[in-house]
Structure formats: C-alpha cells, structure tokens
Amino acid sequence: MTASPDTPLTIARGDGIGPEIMDAALRVLDAAGARLAIEEIQIGQAVYHRGHSAGIEPDAWESLRRTRLFLKAPITTPQGGGFKSLNVTVRKSLGLFANVRPCVAYSPFLPTKHPTMDVVIVRENEEDLYAGIEHRQTDEVVQCLKLVSRPGSERIVRYAFEYARRHGRSKVTCMSKDNIMKLTDGLFHAVFDEVAAEYPEIEAEHSIVDIGAARLADTPEIFDVVVMPNLYGDILSDVAAQVAGSVGLAGSSNIGRDCAMFEAIHGSAPTIAGQDVANPSGLILASAMMLVHAGQGDVAERLHNAWLRTVEDGVATADMGSPASPVGTQAFADAVAARLGEEPTRLPVVRYPQVEEAIRVEPSVRVRATKTMDGVDVFVDHPDRDPDALAAALAAADDGPLSLALITNRGVKVWPDGLPETFCTDHFRCRFLAADPGTATQAQVVALLHRLEQAGVDVVKTEGLYRFDGELGYSLGQGQ
Ligand code: NAD
C-alpha cells in the first residue's frame, strides 16, 4: 500500500500564548502521525509593527493560497485606528464564510452547570457590522455600516442545515434581532425560514437574540445547532464555550469554498503568556477538525479520543475547573500524546469518516427585482441641533419635485411635531419624497443636493429610498 501524500498546511504561531499552544498542538499532531507538509508564516504584532496594517505580509498570502489550509494560533489585535483585524481580513479575503464552533460539556470530568450541553454555533463570518465600514460624519456622531446580503445569509443558513443533516442533529435555531432591524436581520430571518422549508426532517426555530442569549447562558442543553449573523455569533460562541467548561476548550473551523482555517476560539491571553499555564485544548481540538477536513479522519479520531481520555484521567490545565494539581501547557500536550491509541471509557468515543466530503453550498440564482425610487434621505451636520431651524434652512432648498417629509435625529422624529424632550445631536436625517412613490430620479437628487449646498446645508451622506418590485426597501422614520 502506498502512503497517501502529506497534506500541505500553513501554520502561524501568533502572539501571546499562541507560540506555546501551537508548539503543544504540533507535538500532538506529530505524535498522532498526521501526514502534513508544514509551511510557517508570521502574522500578528511583529508584522503590524513592521508597518503592515493588516498584520500579514504579501509572501504569507502566497503560502495560504498555495496550501489552502491554515492552522492559526491567536494573535493580539492592536487597539485603535490604523490597524485592521487580521482575523477578519483573512476570513474575508479567503472567502471563509462559515465559522463552526462546537461547544461541548465534558461532565463529570470538567465542572459545568450544564452537563449535557452539546451546542454547535454556526456563525456568519464575512458580513454584518464586521464589514468594518465606519465613518465619523459630524463632530458628535460616528457610524458603522451593517451589511447583510441575501447570498451571504443563504450560504450560512444552508451550511447550518447541511451540517445538521450531516451530523445527525435534529434542530437548527436562528437568532436575530429582526424586531428592531427589520431589513438587515429581517432578511437573515426570512432566508432562514425559506431554507428551513427545504429540510423538513430538521426542526427549525427562531429566537430574538436577547432571550436566545439568556437561554444559551442559562439552559444551553435546549439548543442543538444555532446559526447567527456575525456579531451575535462572535459574542455568543464565547458565552457557549465558557458555560460548557472554559473558553480555552473550544476549537473552530472557518470554512470557504476553496480554503479553510482552523483556530481556537479564544484570543492571545497576553496576561498568561510565556508561563506554560495556557490550555492548548482549543487548538488541539481545532487540529482534529483540520485533520477531518484534510481527509485524515483516522488521525483525527486517534487525536480526539486521546484528548478525551486525557480529560477523563483528570489531567487538566488551571482553567479547566480549578483542578487540585493543574498541569502546564506542554505537560498537557505530553499527556495527550501518551494516550494516543487509547479511547475514553465514559465520555462518548468519537468516530470520523476517513474522508469526509466537504459541505458545498451555493446561493440560489434569482431574478433581479425591479428597482424604483421614492426619494432620498439626506444626512446633514447641523451644529446648533435645532430641528426647526434646520427645517427652515431646508425650506430654502425645497422648491423642486422632492419635498421635505420628515427630519429625525438618531432615528427619532424631531420634525414636524417633534417633542421638546427629545435629545438631539448634530446629526440629522432629512427625508425628501417625490409626490408619487417610485417617481423620484437621480437627477432630482443631484439637483436637490446642489440647492442644499447653495443654502449652506452641510450634507454628510445620502441614501436612496428604493422599492424592489414595489416592496419598500427602507425603514419608515419613527412617528410616520
Ligand atoms: P482572550 O480569549 O485572549 O482571554 C479571555 C480570558 O480567557 C483571559 O482571562 C484569558 O487568560 C483566558 N484564556 C483565553 N485562552 C485561554 C487558554 N487557552 N487557557 C487558559 N486561559 C485562557 O480574550 P481577550 O483578553 O479579550 O483578548 C486578548 C487579545 O486576543 C486581544 O488582542 C484580542 O483582539 C485577541 N483575540 C484574538 C483572537 C484570534 O486571534 N482569533 C480571538 C479573540 C481575541
């Protein structure tokens, strides 16, 4: 029998506890007989400080695009302007749209209030507020764009259902805040309902994210697979990992059509770096997920079962429920390596297929809707914060086909008939509408902006008020 070729893999040791836990994971991978051709790249703080604002150098991209498989230790993201999050950049640049984070309790061996918890968080990885499009528009107001797309939502929701089907899971829960964000989270929820109908054997439910989060923290055993937009998924997967036992335990996969990245869900934990106390389990379990993806299910199984046996034998780092005699990072890895070939006797044994076919999801092809325009929202910087004075200034420009209908401040109607109690900032949204829906034109908007400029109004941005096949594509101002 000829040995299968080694799988090309890019690794990065990252920052903080990254190098220690990567050393530990690599030792276990090597001892388990993983067939890997490893290339190492540098990412993180040192690269940021060499002047690369994304924390990664051009050569590193070549390695990632060649191997298409990345095992990554956490990095420290510098605070403040000028630096981009490397994690977000890598996920988006390589199209890693699905972030899968299994959060499992290992009771009675690791203390948890939720002994039967076994939740998989499927987090959308490319969109939402993580588009990173932020602007300061006035002296007082900054904004962050929340972008949610139909194909992006469809891919992640379909991935969650395909994952549930593949892994014999019975329920997929969607969490969103569509009672408030009716268009963005509303689209995510609507797509969830559409896709769920194609999987009748899997129970589908939706929960508003606030009560969903409370239940996930309080009674996580009622959940199975949970699919969420990016921000909620980021926050709640940490919650889920922590209530399962420790944030140091969970591994995650970031899956795209062509590439995949595997990492622990925790960060670089700089305060415990260099002390040999960090738990390497998150990266070790991420390595098992990576091996399954790479078609080395046999090695993944050996590694994962040895890790379970280690936990059963009471070997634990300090974060794993305050053990009486915690072991260090490298000793934990040695304990896992020493148990390769053994299986847990009380925790469920894991079984992986030798080669697991990748979950492939594509958004469906749709006919584009017919787009018409009702008018425009003009956002203005108005330092004296007086809505009536602003309305008077706008009236000077309001002699065209688009008429002032409404002024809001942070979404609250302040003209006409605003309440004196409403606090105003210097950032106003002024809605101009055509007399009949769907009849506004870009030329009218340009003419309006020209008149506003001549009237001394400081326009900071505009948003078209569109309909798609006659359906409203914008939120109504409060009070309308
Ligand atoms: P963190 O996850 O690094 O630490 C949170 C807490 O958990 C700390 O008390 C830490 O000591 C503990 N902890 C984390 N991992 C542990 C482990 N393996 N073993 C034992 N204890 C562990 O989160 P943070 O402090 O908010 O972030 C620190 C840095 O990590 C920040 O710069 C952040 O941007 C970055 N970060 C990176 C990633 C990534 O690279 N994927 C993810 C999250 C945060």
Among 235, 238, 268, 317, name the best residue to mutate to test ligand 1's pocket (greatest count of ligand atoms within 8 A of Cβ): 268
Rounded Cα gap, residues 381 and 461, in angstroms: 10
CA of 223 to the centre of ligand 1 (A): 25
Q: Is the CB of 91 under 6 A from ligand 1?
A: no
Beta bridge pairs of residue 264: 251
Assign 480 a pLDDT band (cuts: 50, 70, 90). very low
Assign 3 a pLDDT band (cuts: 50, 70, 90). low
**pLDDT at 44 > cutoff 60:** yes
Percent of the chain with pLDDT over 70: 98
CATH class of 113-244: alpha beta
Whether 130 is catalytic is yes
pLDDT the model gives residue 77: 84
CA of 405 to the centre of ligand 1 (A): 49
Assign 476 a pLDDT band (cuts: 50, 70, 90). confident
Q: Is the CB of 319 under 6 A from ligand 1?
A: yes
Assign 472 a pLDDT band (cuts: 50, 70, 90). very high
Q: Is the CB of 87 under 6 A from ligand 1?
A: yes
Assign 333 a pLDDT band (cuts: 50, 70, 90). very high
Rounded Cα gap, residues 197 and 191, in angstroms: 10
Same fold across 113-244 and 371-472: no
* Catalytic choice (6, 30, 139, 210): 210
Among 266, 271, 283, 322, name the best residue to mutate to test ligand 1's pocket (greatest count of ligand atoms within 8 A of Cβ): 266
CATH class of 1-95+246-357: alpha beta
Query: Could you report the per-residue pLDDT of 98-140, keeping only the tens digit for each?
Result: 999 999 999 999 988 899 999 999 999 999 998 889 999 999 9
* Catalytic choice (177, 185, 377, 466): 177
Assign 1 a pLDDT band (cuts: 50, 70, 90). very low
254-257: Cβ within 8 A, 24+ apart: 254/91, 254/96, 254/98, 254/99, 254/100, 254/125, 255/96, 255/97, 255/98, 255/99, 255/100, 255/159, 255/293, 255/358, 255/359, 256/94, 256/95, 256/96, 256/97, 256/98, 257/95, 257/360
Q: Is the CB of 267 under 6 A from ligand 1?
A: yes
Assign 203 a pLDDT band (cuts: 50, 70, 90). very high
pLDDT the model gives residue 4: 67
pLDDT averaged over every residue in the chain: 94
Rounded Cα gap, residues 373 and 435, in angstroms: 12
Q: Is the CB of 20 under 6 A from ligand 1?
A: no
Identify the three-state secondary structure at position 131: helix
Q: What is the mean pLDDT of residues 367-387?
A: 96
pLDDT the model gives residue 88: 83
pLDDT the model gives residue 13: 97
Q: How do the domains of the chain map onto residue ranges?
A: 1-95+246-357, 113-244, 371-472
Q: What is the CATH number of domain 371-472?
A: 3.30.70.1570
**pLDDT at 479 > cutoff 60:** no
**Quick one: DSSP state of residue 313?**
T
User: Exposed e or buried b for every residue in 305-336, given b needs 16+ CB within 10 A?
Assistant: bbbbbbbbeebbbbbbeeeeebbbbeebbbbb
Rounded Cα gap, residues 42 and 361, in angstroms: 32
CB neighbours of 151 closer than 8 A, spacing ≥ 6? 363
Assign 229 a pLDDT band (cuts: 50, 70, 90). very high
Whether 178 is catalytic is no
**Of 287, 284, 291, whose CA–CA distance to 330 is shortest?**
284
By the 8 A CB rule, do 274 and 20 touch? yes
Please give the biggest Cα pair distance in the chain: 85
Residues in the chain: 480
Single pTM value for the model: 0.92
Query: Could you report the per-residue pLDDT of 270-326, keeping only the tens digit for each?
Result: 999 999 999 999 999 999 999 999 999 999 999 999 999 999 999 999 999 888 899
Whether 177 is catalytic is yes
**pLDDT at 32 > cutoff 70:** yes
pLDDT the model gives residue 220: 97
Rounded Cα gap, residues 299 and 346, in angstroms: 21
CB neighbours of 450 closer than 8 A, spacing ≥ 6? none
Rounded Cα gap, residues 251 and 246, in angstroms: 11
CB neighbours of 298 closer than 8 A, spacing ≥ 6? 352, 354
CA of 447 to the centre of ligand 1 (A): 52
**Of 269, 278, 292, whose CA–CA distance to 102 is shortest?**
292
Measured from the Cα of 281, ligand 1's closest atom is 18
**pLDDT at 450 > cutoff 90:** yes
Rounded Cα gap, residues 417 and 387, in angstroms: 10
* Catalytic choice (185, 234, 334, 374): 234
CA of 74 to the centre of ligand 1 (A): 8
